[in-house]
Structure 1
């Protein structure tokens, strides 16, 4: 239960117990002093009463000795019994001691013989009573008949007074006359004498009691004053500490701890320093948390903005990669068409080669039939002209279709630009992911994967460009050779046919030359067929690469969609983090630090 009391109450109880203890000790000492004083009065009374008893006993014994001497004289015959008794009563009646001491004599039967010569003499007072109904004469006579006499206490009025006062009497019998001689004195006089004799002691006792009372009073006042000072020195700083702690518990850390409190050298000074240290530490901690919350809120807002921008860029990349996939698919389709055209060109070249073989045979026949060559030459001229036009048209169509390779190069350049842009976006995404820290690790992996795919696409495009350049070079060579061939057919052969017709008879000598020329043309056609076959292989590789590129860009688009989903998840997490930061900031705002 005492643990539930306040410190002020505990101190008050402690001080109250101390004061009550001192007061109890003082009262106990006063009681003991009063007991000692009463014991001394009692001892004084006993001494006075003892002296008084001895005195009245001696006085009575003196009277008995006097009567005994008279009785002895009576025995000797000097006095008669009557004379002796008369002398004895006269002497006793006149005898005094002290101021008011006198004697009386009663017979065993209660008849009074001597009593100051009063009217009581000669009367029987055996049944006399005091104011309390006490028959004191009977006891006086009875006690007096004891061997050594006896004492009797009763109440009896003083001379000239009506009010009874306490009196103590001593009586002793004188056996020869059967008298009981007695004397006594009022005990209130003894009390007054005892008080008078103990007056100095009483004065000393009262003085001592007064001094003790003053000392105790001063002690109690001083202790109470010191207790109040000590209590205030404890409760005031304790209340201040409680007030400070309550304010701090309410979140107010703007309070200032008084220097007088901190400069104390006692436990409360240590408590004040501890509270100040706790206040400063908590204030610093709350300040840092507030700053971190603000910074976290800004970072979350920045991440939200960046992730939103990244989502837009990923959507653009996804759309671009889809367009790129469509373009790559178109490129693959065009490559297939180019491959089919190359196949047709190859077939035409094979026809040309076969025809050159036939021309060689005919040249041999011309050589053998020189005389009949004119008609054959005319027919050959017509056939050659017709073939020239056909070959020219086929070559021009093939060359026109071969220009598709340039379009492939241009498309590869576009793909190269797209891959460069993808690399740039992947780099930006990696930078933003690094800024995001732990939350951007997943996005960083996706950005690295996009960069890796863009790098692979770039390498594939470079390979496509290299193959395209080779195909372009081959097509250029084919175009040059075809141009030369067409030019050759359109000019030289026609002129030769015209000349041959003019010099038909001289053609026989030139037949061998024509045969060799046709064989060379056949060889060139075979080389052209090989070149076209190589071009067809390159075009097929281009088509395959385009298909792979389309598949890769499709995968990129799919991964962009996955990245977009991850980015949206990151956006949700950052939004949640921002909300948590706002909530934490709201909670921290409970504390006042400035």
Structure 2
């Protein structure tokens, strides 16, 4: 059963209960009012009769107990007229008997007509004596209330005292007044009132149903549909502007839902854009690392060539050392060898210069890539911090839901206090409470999805930071080491060139400096061995760089997968 039907059913039940209660209460009030009115009229009538009675003559009648007394006949006639006129059941006087232990009848209406003339002075049966009759002889005006008689139906007995001129009570007057006709009139009056009330209740029920359906049920159902769309990831539908313009709790909830929808829509759009940008940066880094790998491999090849050249140089130096023993006989050969050594030194120096330039250029490119990636990554991470706005909005919905739930509970309590009149408001409060609970569930679902997105973004940021840290602490340091080694190689090559120049210039003095040349050759051999070891070290370092680049590739792939996962999280959201 939907909310509208529930509201209508509860309003109908409320007004039915109200109608039944008002009928019962109205009948009770009208009945009591009718009884009270009848009682007052009976007392007034008896008072007028008491004023009409000649107390002295009545006392004489009660003393003689003679039905032939003229005043008895006169008073009996008047009482009979009053009975006929007012449709009374009985009207009579009574007084204490001579022994003053009981009561006896006095003048009774319709005595001559009914043939009950023997009632004058007859003792009243103790079962017929009531407290009201006794009270009248003590000066009390009273009625018996409604009496149900099998013979006469509903009736009421009224009693007042009869006082003489001195105020002494000489007897009492009693009248039995029929109440059935009064009850019938009261019932007819109640029926008219109830018909009018029924029409009023029906109109009020229709008005209340229309008001609740228009101002509460319909907006709540519409907001529920909006929340269902948001929970399904559809943020394209805007909340009805009429609901946003409301100044009550419905308007507050509508504005909160709209603000949440707009915030999530903007953040989701930014996440999609940033994911595309991150993927683009990852692709650029991947391309640059591939280029670096190729350049490092080129360095490895150059290093291998240098190593081979150093091995050849070492062999030449050994040959020179061997030939130095016969230097005197081979000056020309030594001179040619020295010239060849100069040429090879120049070649080696050029190779080292080229190696140095390549390494310097590679380092500069890597520095530029590192700086650019670091700036873009920091900007991307800073933009993703907007996700926190989703969490704040979800918390705001949760707080509003809690407040709405508290208001619903308070309304339920007030409805209980109001009793039957507050049942309709209790239903409304229950519906608001259900809306608050559903709003809270939706806000919890938003927080869970947002926390998942935040965790993915943090993971992506950490992986990207690890890549930058690896580039900064490993690759750039290795490049600096390459440059230092290149400078050392260049320095050694210049030294070799100077040595060979000296060889060439001092060919004429070679015989005198043979021992010095031998020592120099030993130094050259030592340097070439060192150079060879350095070239081998470069090859090893290049291999290590290749291994590190593989790690970089793996981290890049991991970063890309994280970015794709982040992108997939928001791919199904409609904005």
Question: What range is the shorter-chain TM-score in?
Answer: 0.5 to 0.7
| 1:457 has 2:485 as partner | yes
Aligned to 1:401: 337
CA RMSD in angstroms, aligned pairs only: 5.3
Change (3 A) 1:229 1:529: same
| 1:33 has 2:61 as partner | no
| 1:311 has 2:293 as partner | yes
Paired with 2:66 and 2:540, the residues of 1 have a C-alpha distance of 163
Alignment map for 1:412-561 (pairs within 5 Å): 412-437=349-374, 438=465, 439-479=467-507, 481=508, 527-561=509-543
Paired with 1:287 and 1:314, the residues of 2 have a C-alpha distance of 40
- What CA deviation, in whole Å up to 9, does each residue of 1:339-398 have, x standing for no partner? 3323431xx2xxxxxxxxxxxxxxxxxxxxxxxxxxxxxxxxxxxxxxxxxx5xx22222
Aligned to 2:570: 588
Paired with 2:312 and 2:118, the residues of 1 have a C-alpha distance of 163
Alignment map for 1:239-250 (pairs within 5 Å): 239-250=221-232
Paired with 2:154 and 2:503, the residues of 1 have a C-alpha distance of 169
Query: In structure 1, the residue corresponding to 2:119 is in which secondary structure?
Result: strand
Aligned match for 1:171, one of 115, 119, 128: 119
Alignment map for 1:321-400 (pairs within 5 Å): 321-345=303-327, 348=328, 391=329, 394-400=330-336
TM-score, length basis structure 2:
0.59
Note the C-alpha offset of 1:257.
Answer: 1.8
Alignment map for 1:198-213 (pairs within 5 Å): 210=192
Paired with 1:171 and 1:577, the residues of 2 have a C-alpha distance of 122
Paired with 1:21 and 1:449, the residues of 2 have a C-alpha distance of 90
Paired with 1:344 and 1:235, the residues of 2 have a C-alpha distance of 117
Paired with 2:78 and 2:257, the residues of 1 have a C-alpha distance of 88
Note the C-alpha offset of 1:204.
Answer: 9.0
| 1:230 has 2:178 as partner | no
- What CA deviation, in whole Å up to 9, does each residue of 1:137-161 have, x standing for no partner? xxxxxx99998633999xxxx99xx
Aligned to 1:150: 105
Contact 1:152/1:170 (<8 A) preserved: no
Aligned match for 1:301, one of 269, 276, 283: 283
Q: Structure 2 regions of 5+ residues with no counterpart?
A: 82-95, 124-150, 157-175, 375-464
Change (3 A) 1:294 1:572: same
- What CA deviation, in whole Å up to 9, does each residue of 1:247-271 have, x standing for no partner? 1111101112222122222232222
Paired with 1:168 and 1:564, the residues of 2 have a C-alpha distance of 141
Change (3 A) 1:228 1:57: farther
Paired with 2:523 and 2:299, the residues of 1 have a C-alpha distance of 27
Note the C-alpha offset of 1:168.
Answer: 9.2
Contact 1:318/1:556 (<8 A) preserved: yes
Change (3 A) 1:152 1:189: farther
Contact 1:474/1:535 (<8 A) preserved: no
TM-score, length basis structure 1:
0.57
Change (3 A) 1:263 1:343: farther
